[in-house]
Amino acid sequence: MSDLEQRLREEKNARLKLIVTDGVFSMDGDIAPLDKICELGDKYNALVFVDEAHATGFFGKTGRGTEEYHNIIGKVDIINSTLGKAMGGASGGYTTGPKELIDLLRQRGRPYLFSNSLPPPVVAAGIKAFDIVLNSNNLAERLRHNTKRFRDAMTKAGFTIGGSDHPICPVMLYEERLASVFADEMLGELQPHLY
């Protein structure tokens, strides 16, 4: 955070400042200190952009993501996320933000201009997934329970589990060769069940 503040201080004359971060980092489940990032954004008149691909639909008390986890709903300027993970759509995504930004993306965004639109079933699945998240936190609560159960069991078995209370649960082996052997043996256990 001190490095980010230093960079923002150095750019005091910039016409536009944008802080970009993941809400949750995919490899280790680390959670961005989004509340502190938003405070710095306010202090230095910078926009905050968060990628919520590993938070949308299942993180935060009701699955609304890192903003909800930090209790700062409405503080992030731009949110980008996917319909391909917790939201069940298998492809596609979205960006939320100021109308001017969305209009600019519609006019200049290459994927928007040069791609096919999402298939209606994907859109319908995404809308239904958002309805589920907005109307019940049962799935998010069950995922939290299962995550804790997994972390506790793995720790009890002697493994070091990285990250925090996010469902990304990295098993830390700390040696590249050991990780490779471990992955091969796990795949060997799985393969007879695939056919």
54 annotated active-site: yes
Active site (annotated) includes residue 166: no
User: 58: burial class by Cβ within 10 Å (0-12, 13-18, 19+)?
Assistant: buried
Taking the CA atoms of the chain, what radius of gyration do you get in angstroms?
A: 20
Question: Which helix (H) or strand (E) is 81 found in, with range?
Answer: strand 78-82
* Catalytic residue (one of 2, 12, 17, 26): 26
145 is a catalytic site residue = no
Q: Annotated catalytic residue: which of 70, 81, 85, 166?
A: 85
Q: Within 10 Å of residue 147's Cβ, how many Cβ atoms?
A: 19
Closest CA to 7 of 41, 49, 36, 30: 41
Hey, how many other C-beta atoms are within 10 angstroms of the C-beta on 184?
Answer: 10
Q: Which amino acid is at 98?
A: P
DSSP character at residue 76: -
User: Exactly one of 54, 70, 81, 166 is catalytic; which is it?
Assistant: 54
User: Which positions ≥6 away from 103 have C-beta within 8 Å?
Assistant: none
Q: Length of the chain in residues, anyone?
A: 195
CA-CA distance, 186 to 183, in Å (whole number)? 5
Catalytic amino acids?
A: 26, 54, 85
